[in-house]
Amino acid sequence: MPEVVELPVSLYKSETKPDWCPGCGDYGVLNCLQKAVSKLCIQPKDLLVVSGIGCSSNLPGFIHTYGFHSLHGRSVPVATGAKLANPDLNVVITGGDGDAYGIGLGHFLHIARRNINLTYIVMDNQIYGLTTGQASPTSRKGHKTKSTPAGNIETPLNPLVLAMVCGATFVARGFSGDANHLSDIMAQAIKHKGFSIIDVFSPCVTYNKVNTYPWFRENIYKLEDQGHDRSDYDAALKRAHEWDTKKIPIGVFYQTIAPTYEEEDVTLKHGNPTKQKLGLTPEQAQGMLKEFI
């Protein structure tokens, strides 16, 4: 039989159509995720997509896989629980910059250092879109929004630097306006063994009139075109700090190999816990059940 190269993208199309604004960058992220998992031949039954709250966090409803729309900022612990209960499942977290880097920041730091085999895709539009345009943790200094009419006075958070210093083993940035590049990064991230984070420039066409598609196209460049060595931690950290006009890098900043949480956990390193034998006699099992029923 011929080898299956990839599954049809149509396999991941949901009957529920996205309700995002026309032109929203999140359409590109959804399409790229469907394309990436089709390339990797991941069956819908073997994929779970978990989100928090926000426009972008509606994504699990628009892809034909298992999905979980959790609480604001709590997608990481939900995804962690699912992955540890069933390590055979491919688990992808999706959300926005407010959900991931605001209310969910504490979880973000710890998922990076634990190196659990998960992929986090953050649709970063530098604004709170769902609540109609307030400054978010990644809004640039001076950005005028509904909550900062005189200009944002706060220094923006740098998620790539944070991820690296906390121990993330795959750190990347993409742009939803470049589908081939982004879907390739997603496929690499999902294949990576350990925690992978992709910060995606995903323009909010309704409430962010600064960081638009044309603005990004004019100011970003690709790391691979500059011969960047993703295994060089110091070089990656230096690139992650870049945010000058016409000098904002996208691509894979950093990748390394390290033991995953699952490989070091005393129970999980023996495989999927749902498939492990308990080592109990029927009588012992019945006795335990009686205690809990």
Q: How confident is the model at residue 271 (pLDDT cuts 50, 70, 90)?
A: confident
Element spanning 130, H or E: none
Question: 273 vs 33, which has greater pLDDT?
Answer: 33
Q: Which residue, 74, 72, 67, 68, is CA-closest to 53?
A: 72
Structure tokens at 140: 């640039």
- Report how far residue 72's alpha carbon sits from residue 263's, in angstroms, rounded to the nearest whole number: 30
Which residue's structure tokens are 């060595």? 229
Residue with structure tokens 């080898």? 3
Using alpha carbons only, what angle is made at residue 162 by residues 159 and 166, rounded to the nearest 5 degrees?
140
Residues in the chain: 293
Between helices 26-39 and 179-191, what is the axis angle to 10°? 50
pLDDT at 172: 98
pTM: 0.94
pLDDT band at residue 4 using 50, 70 and 90 as cut-offs: low
Whether the Cβ atoms of residue 27 and residue 62 lie closer than 8 Å to each other: no
Asked if pLDDT for residue 3 goes beyond 70, the answer is: no
pLDDT-based confidence at residue 280 (cuts at 50, 70, 90): confident
Cβ-in-10-Å burial (0-12, 13-18, 19+) of 247 comes to exposed
Q: Are strands 170-175 and 248-255 parallel, antiparallel or unpaired?
A: antiparallel
DSSP assignment string, 89-122? SEEEEEEEHHIIIIITHHHHHHHHHHT-S-EEEE
Share of the chain above pLDDT 90, in %: 88
Q: Which of the four pLDDT bands, split at 50, 70 and 90, describes residue 267? A: confident
Q: What pLDDT score does 270 carry?
A: 86
Q: CB of 197 within 8 A of CB of 165?
A: no
pLDDT given for residue 221 in this prediction: 97
pLDDT digits (tens, 9 = 90+) for 105-134: 999 999 999 999 999 999 999 999 999 999
pLDDT at 2: 57
* Residue 48, φ and ψ in degrees, nearest 5: -120, 130
CB atoms within 10 A of CB 61: 15
